Structures are given as C-alpha cells and as structure tokens.
Structure 1
Amino acid sequence: MNYYGITALLNIVCNFIFVFLAFYCVQALRLDRYISAQKQGMFKILIILVSIAVGYLCSSFFLDFINNVRNLSYLFQK
C-alpha cells in the first residue's frame, strides 16, 4: 500500500514540475508581441493550456521511461 502512495506522490510532483517548466519555457518565446491588445486575455489562456499539454506529455514520457527501466529487470529473471 505504501508503494502506491509513493508512486502517486511522484506522479503528482512530476506533473507539476513539468507543467511549470513548460510554462516558463513557453513564456520565454515572447509570442505576445505578435498578438493584438484585444486578444491578450485569450492568448494567456492559450499559453496556460499549451503549457499543461506539453508538461503533461513530457511528464508522461519521463514517468513511462522510469517505469520501463524498472520493469526491465524482469527480462533478465529466470
């Protein structure tokens, strides 16, 4: 039971870290200067949604990679 709690905590923390990292990376692109002043509010929502999508995809890749490396030991067991 403790294993599942630790795994869930790792998933939540990893998701938040990658979403925040993606948010700061997307903001660094400075795409807001190409958007008109009337559309800035909608553009900020778009930045948040894109950051969540990219962060979730990166987090899923990272967590699946860790899980696959951990399961790789079953390949060499008799």
Structure 2
Amino acid sequence: MIDQLGQQSLFNILISLMVLVIVWWSVQAIRMELFVKDPEGLRAKAFLVILTIALTYLITGFILNYLNWSQSLRFLF
C-alpha cells in the first residue's frame, strides 16, 4: 500500500514537471510587448512565471484527474 502511494506520488511529480516544461516552452511564444509596457522588466518576467505555474497546475490537475477517472471505470461493471 505504501509502495503504491510512493509510486503514484513519483508519477504525479514527473507528470507535473513534464507539463511545466511544455507550458514554459509554450509561454515563450507569447508576444509580451502586446500586453505589458516593459516586456523585459521584472514584472513581465514574474507574470510569465505565475502564468506558467497557473497553467501547469490546471493542465496537470486535468491530466491526473482524467487518468484516475479512467482507472476507476473498471469498478463500474
């Protein structure tokens, strides 16, 4: 039981890190000069980091919930 919990935690961390890398790579394509006054400033960089973390949280939550739900379908029948 404990081993399975540890494996699931490690899997969740790895999924989160993979999604973080993909989201950070994707966010770099945003033209910040359209949204902020100083795209090279500290505020713009902080905004990108916060945006990346928020999107990573949402996407990772969706993926992990979907995987859990799909694994729980076997208990339906």
TM-score above 0.5: yes
Residue equivalent to 1:14: 15
Which residue is 1:44 aligned to? Answer: 45
Query: When you count helix as a share of all residues, which structure comes out higher?
Result: 1
Q: Report the RMSD for the aligned CA atoms in angstroms.
A: 1.7
**Bigger relative contact order (CA 8 A; separation at least 6):** 1
Deviation at 1:36, TM superposition (A): 3.4
**Letter in structure 2 aligned against 1:54:** L
Structure 1 window deviating more from structure 2 (10-19 vs 46-55): it is 10-19
Consecutive aligned runs of 4 or more in structure 1 exceeding 6 Å deviation: none
Where do 5+ consecutive residues of structure 2 fail to align? none
Identity between Structure 1 and Structure 2 (%): 25
Q: TM-score, normalised to structure 2's length?
A: 0.86
Q: Which runs of 5+ in 1 are unaligned?
A: none
How many residue pairs match? The answer is 75
